[in-house]
Amino acid sequence: MNHINAYHAGAAAGAAAATICVAARCGAQRRLDSVLTGLAGSPGRAAAASGPASGQQLAGKIALITGGGTGVGKVTALAYAAEGAHIVLAGRRPGPIEEVAAECEALGVQALAVPTDLGDPKAVEALFAACKKKFGRLDILFNNAGMGAPSKPLEDIEFDEWNAVVSANLTGSFLCTQQAFKLMKSQSPMGGRIINNGSISADRPRPNSSPYTATKHAISGLTKSTSLVRQSLQ
């Protein structure tokens, strides 16, 4: 498992201190712990009068979760919502993310489901525009969406199989990170947290898993590179 946190705290044009944190790690509880440790109490949008209770550690924060309709993405969305975060859910299929959005709203927060092809730059741009339009800012991005390929020897992998995994696991995370940086740098207070979904496969790959393993190695590199870009805010 990879765990990289890169913190920056400083003043932006005389504004309050800003923080952008970048992490790649595994486990829904660790993701929640990571956010609670680094983000709770940082500058952010105050909860609306009808929003979550002030005792919640993410009260009023805005979290965007890709692949949020099932599995780890769903569990993380509900965990964040239980801590008071408003949720934006992205995924290819409308049904699952709309169902999770309804579950989040039942916990007393606002939620937005945006069907998105994360490998499409225009679709990702529209996703973040929808987030900004509804909530005005973004505090947490969880790059969770991903997929595997059929287990087969490297020489038998079809290009379309390879390309689908790269698009879902790597290109989508890059495009979302790019848009998140643009929004987090432009908002006031500036800053936020980006979490990339890593995998043990980045260090200990399984046989016949070349596309998945390659993308998880790449996610570690993307996380480290994003951390270096973050330093430009200092």
The residues assigned a catalytic role are 212
Is 138 within 8 Å of 192 (Cβ atoms)? yes
Residue holding tokens 């995924």?
Answer: 91
Q: Where are the alpha helices (H) located in 121-209, listed in sequence order?
A: 121-135, 159-166, 172-186
Q: Which of 79, 83, 127, 117 shows the shortest CA–CA distance to 100?
A: 79
Using CA of residue 94, residue 96, residue 97, residue 100, what is the dihedral sign?
A: positive
User: What gap in Å lies between CA 177 and CA 194, rounded to an integer?
Assistant: 7
By the 10 Å C-beta count (0-12 exposed, 13-18 middle, 19+ buried), 105 is classed as middle
